A and B are shown apart, each in its own frame.
Chain A
Amino acid sequence: MAFFFAQLLTGLANACSLFLVASGLSLIFGVTRIVNFAHGSFYMLGAFVGVTLMQVLPGAMGFWGAILLTGLVVGAIGAFVEMVVLRPIYRAPELFQLVATFGVILVIQDLALMVWGAEDRMGPRAPGLRGVWRIFGEPVPKYDLVIIAITPLILFALWYLITKTRVGVLVRAATQDREMVGALGVNQAWLFTGVFALGSALAGWGGALQLPKGGADLLMDFNIIGAAFVVVVIGGMGSLPGAFIAAVLISVLNVFGVTYLPQSTLVLMFVVMAVVLIIRPYGLLGREEVAGEHGQVGAPESPIRPYGPTGQMVVVALLLMLAALPLFADRFVLILLIDMLVFALFAASLHFILGTGGMVSFGHAAFFGGGAYAAALLVYHLETPMEIAFLFAPLAAGLLALGIGWFCIRLSGVYFAMLTLAFSQLVWSMAYQWRDLTRGDDGLVNIWPASWLSGTTPFYYFTLAFGVGGILVLRHIIHSPFGYALRAGRDSPRQAEAMGINVKRVQHVAFGLAGVMAGLAGGIFVFSKGSVFPTELEIGASFDALIVVFLGGVKTLAGGVVGAGFMTVVEDWLTRLEYWRLVLGLVIIAVVIIAPEGIVGTLRSTWAKFRGTNDEAVK
């Protein structure tokens, strides 16, 4: 019993930082609708700033003063980021800000490395709080009890701010109806900046308060962000008490998981999230997202038309040029193109459900990596010939997508995104921890193509055939009645239903199809690299695809493909530089600000302006 109680206290102490970070994230999302992936970076900054200030300010006053100051400093950085990076793009398509926040992560990573160096910093102890108190005979660190007491105070202060003050009223009003708040004469821009700064400050406090239990290091940003999102989603996006309950739930569950299921720690959190979302799709205290409430921003799209004869001629000519490339290009260009084609097919498959279907999946890597693993497992365990294993990749990924899609398509918007994320994390943790089958992160190696394909040129043609083929099939489907039904379901589900379209079934099939194509890309990938690792299933891999789709342009047909090409080339170049993350981050932010419709979308509207026509007139 005493042990049980001590475990409970440990869980509560762990919930403190998680709650602070998650509450900031939830607050920012609730008001600005920004899915802020850079939130973990503010947590990391909080830890580093806190450690630095604590060295300057000694003693107990210094310690607590440093924590207080840290929040102000990080809040100010947050306000700066919001004004410079996010403010120009609020009118961009939904979730486009995600790409910008990804750029911010890269910039902050390199700046932190420059300022604080590569070495981990251990946090100082809280003055006067070294050691333990014994509670029912079990040792409990004094500092744990202090932060257990602090957390509800912060929750109460936030609750008071939101429900009892005028600022809070405005914030809540902005959550409900942004336009109305603007119409009432409130300066929305400053409201958003203020909320973003407060959210960042909370993350900063989270980073500083955990110092006596940990320290500051350069991997903190990615290490917390997954858990913070889980908490926000389980609690209900935008709900502070929900975030509190979820942070406590996850932390306490984790403590018991450590004792009774020590190998499960990775999976547990995402299982909880998936279960909660299946039972309560909008989180414990969240509200149902009303369709259209935060719908598409900007002018409505014009219908997609197939290329005219000129366009088709250009495509054929370019295909011929690609086909002739091995005659004059050097070997590495072919290899770069193979990478580019694989990535383009993967991105196109995401773009298919995201652009045409309106389903923003945060876990698309499950199908890319799933396909790659399916082929690799056959080769590794059963010595299946490459040709058969390759065909198995899209098949397995498609089945996986149908299975996962069955759960996910019942939701929409951010909750759909989060459930796909939870499922892809489940797949990832299986690949990572089911070592007898997958060899864990040692990966499956020596998965090379059959001998007739092992040369670079044959494999290039192979990739060209399947990569371009896959993309063409997807485009063809977009122009087919099925594609139009999918679009109808995205733009106006009720009218679509009224016309006799079974929207959910169409979406389910589209999801499966996207899985097939992602798996095809994964199949080509595994034989081009000769190995596959859980890295291909990570959140990062899903986000690479998301980012190129947004960068290329969601509302354009070529978005995914162009984004993939752009990213492959830019990254290939920049990683040669010393501070490539900084430069890449700035490039991403610049593209986001200059081209808020994505690269293709912006080119298209520029072209339309240049010709003196516009889409509205054409329609």
Chain B
Amino acid sequence: MTFTRRTLLAATTALALAPVAALAQDTIKIGEINHYKRMAAFAEPYKMGIELGLKEINDAGGVLGKPLEFIFRDDQGDPAEAVKIAEELMTRDGAVMLTGSILSHVGLALSSFAAEKGYLYLAAEPLADSLVWTSGNPNTFRLRASTWIQAAMLAEEAAKTDAVKYATIAPNYAYGQDAVAAFKENLKRLKPEVEFVAEQWPALFKIDAGAEVQAIERAKPDAIYNVTFGTDLAKFVREGGDRGLFDGRPVYGLLSGEPEYLEPLGDEAPEGWFVTGYPWYGFEDGTAEKAFVDAYMAETGETPKIGSLVGYLDVISIAAAIEKAGATDTDSLIAAFEGLEIPDTPIGTLMYREVDNQSNMGAYVGTLAMQDGKGVMVDWTYKSPDGYMPSDEEIKAMRPAE
């Protein structure tokens, strides 16, 4: 009985799946794997950014004379499932390369898989430093600025004040721990006398905000570094605001200015925080930044999130790489991505560094303020990662695969 059922199922699967391979081959297909259900709030704007980019590219004639097509697949946020889907996309669906993922651990699994099987993976959103450094490999490229870069930008700002005693609060998982470590290292380098008097580590999306606020208040820090986001951030901001935690204390918030996290806060957005984010409402007419925002709003009827920008840049990067390669085999694509330069993107010239396969996408930093009952970033600037990166020698030493 055991083997009867299983084999029948297997045989049915084999038969049932076979027609998929017979689909037309006249488009260039990209395998896109993401957590569309588990992280819908982030994946949906990202997908709409991709669709906008695809429309522009295909209206202009596609790449290498063929339409570009993305195959979107949901991995449920499970790295093992992502690896399985990646295998299917590459061997059966005829994808020429892989992209996607928001969660770092899924990105790392896909990266390792791409290196083992000889595919190309462009990590769009995963922020983990190790993706391009300690776990980096020649088959993996990454678009978004890493945790290290964004934390270093905040640390630079923090070093300008006379605050000495810092408290940190970050979700207790790899991203939160990396973000705190990067901030500490950068700040200590710039200002050796700082000390960290409290480190709080709420479990991700299970924050006990009242208790966290009490614990930080008890340490009486001069300033606070915050890495919480999503619902944790909302609870932290509300309890902290009520209990007066932020009064007279500079707060540095990683990602807190991103529309994904800022918009749900409504009129309770914490004024005066110095944050990284995406001030799409503040772009001036005539800039490439504004043109993208207008096009996105016209196409989707929604305001953009940072994920929208990342999705758009993701598809633009891929199209440019394929055009440069003139072919779609992995070796040509990898060669094309190395040092790839794309002028006139919404953030200026986008470039993929040869030293660590990391793009030069930077981050918007600025201060939170209240306008019309909504939190916005003011006095913001776009900073490129130059000057925040470790030296090329340090990076080379970190990348074991090369």
Contact = CB atoms under 8 A, between A and B. Distances in A.
Contacts of A73: none
A336 B203 contact: no
Contacts of A442: 104-105, 108, 128, 130, 135, 174
B20 to A, nearest CB: 9
A223 interface: yes
A218 B7 contact: no
A213 to B, nearest CB: 7
A265 B202 contact: yes
Contacts of B209: 213
B13 interface: yes
B235 A255 contact: no
B258 to A, nearest CB: 13
A445 B128 contact: no
A440 B170 CA distance: 15
Contact of A337 (B10, B37, B78, B242): B10
A530 B83 contact: yes
A580 B38 CA distance: 12
Contact of B230 (A120, A330, A432, A580): A120
A131 B242 contact: yes
A139 interface: yes
A561 B13 contact: no
A586 B121 CA distance: 35
Interface in B223-263: 230-231, 234-235, 238-239, 242-244, 263
Interface in A422-464: 432-433, 435, 439-443, 445-446, 448, 454
Interface in B248-301: 263-266, 268
Interface string A551-583: 000001110011001100100110110001100
Nearest to B237: A122
Nearest to A131: B242
Give the residue among B10, B104, B105 with the most A Cβ atoms within 10 A: B10
Contacts of B234: 120, 122, 214-215
Contacts of A566: 9
Contact of A333 (B10, B203, B205): B10
B389 interface: no
A531 B79 contact: yes
Interface string A250-285: 000011001100110110000000000000000000
A475 interface: yes
Contacts of A337: 10
B205 A219 contact: yes
Contact of A141 (B79, B128, B205, B242): B242
Contact of B80 (A14, A213, A536): A536
A109 interface: yes
A533 interface: yes
Contacts of A319: 3
B191 interface: no
Interface in A137-163: 138-139, 141, 144
B104 to A, nearest CB: 7
Interface stretch (A83-91, A231-239, A310-318, A486-494): A310-318
Contact of B215 (A138, A144, A258, A322): A258
A445 B242 CA distance: 43
B224 to A, nearest CB: 14
Interface residues of A, number: 94
Given A330-B92, A442-B128, A443-B109, A132 B242 contact: yes
Main secondary structure of the interface of B (DSSP, over half): helix
B211 A329 contact: no
A174 interface: no
B41 A120 contact: yes
Contacts of A109: 37
A318 B3 contact: yes
A422 B139 CA distance: 40
A547 interface: no
B218 A259 contact: yes
A550 B135 CA distance: 40
Contact of B1 (A3, A330, A333, A600): A600
A328 to B, nearest CB: 9
Interface in B80-102: 80-81, 83-84, 87-88, 91-92
B160 interface: no
A426 B59 CA distance: 54
B7 to A, nearest CB: 4
Given A139-B244, A333-B17, A535-B78, A440 B173 contact: yes
Contacts of B9: 340, 565-566, 569
Nearest to B109: A531
Interface residues of B, number: 80
Contacts, number: 251
Nearest to B169: A262
Contacts of B203: 265-266
Contacts of B130: 442
B214 interface: yes
A435 B175 CA distance: 12
Given A258-B211, A435-B177, A531-B112, A333 B4 contact: no
A448 B113 CA distance: 9
Nearest to A224: B206
Nearest to B89: A332
Interface string A89-130: 000000000000000000001100100001111100000001
Nearest to B81: A575
Nearest to A314: B4
Contacts of B78: 535
Contact of A335 (B84, B116, B202, B218): B84
Contact of A318 (B4, B77, B104, B108): B4
Given A213-B238, A217-B231, A314-B3, A223 B206 contact: yes
Nearest to A572: B13
Given A336-B13, A530-B112, A580 B74 contact: yes
A258 B231 contact: no
Contacts of B201: 262-263, 265
A254 B80 contact: no
Given A529-B79, A530-B83, A122 B1 contact: no
A460 to B, nearest CB: 12
A332 B88 contact: yes
Interface stretch (A5-13, A63-71, A355-363, A388-396): A5-13
A340 B3 contact: no
Contact of A441 (B76, B174, B266): B174
B6 A118 contact: no
B44 interface: yes
A322 B87 contact: no
Contact of B37 (A113, A138, A330, A533): A113
Nearest to A336: B13
A575 B76 contact: yes
B37 A141 contact: no
B371 interface: no
B242 A558 contact: no
B135 A263 contact: no
A335 B10 CA distance: 11
A454 B115 CA distance: 13
B7 A214 contact: no
Contacts of B172: 263, 265-266, 433
Interface string B343-372: 000000000000000000000000000000
Interface in B117-156: 128, 130, 135
A566 B38 CA distance: 23
A446 B218 contact: no
Given A121-B264, A335-B88, A10 B6 contact: no
Nearest to B218: A3
Contacts of B17: 332-333, 336
B210 interface: yes
- Top 5 nearest A-B pairs (CB, nearest first) are A118-B40, A10-B210, A258-B211, A255-B211, A445-B112
Given A10-B214, A120-B234, 4 more contacts: A330-B14, A446-B115, A536-B80, A565-B6
5 contacts: A217-B41, A219-B231, A263-B201, A318-B4, A439-B174
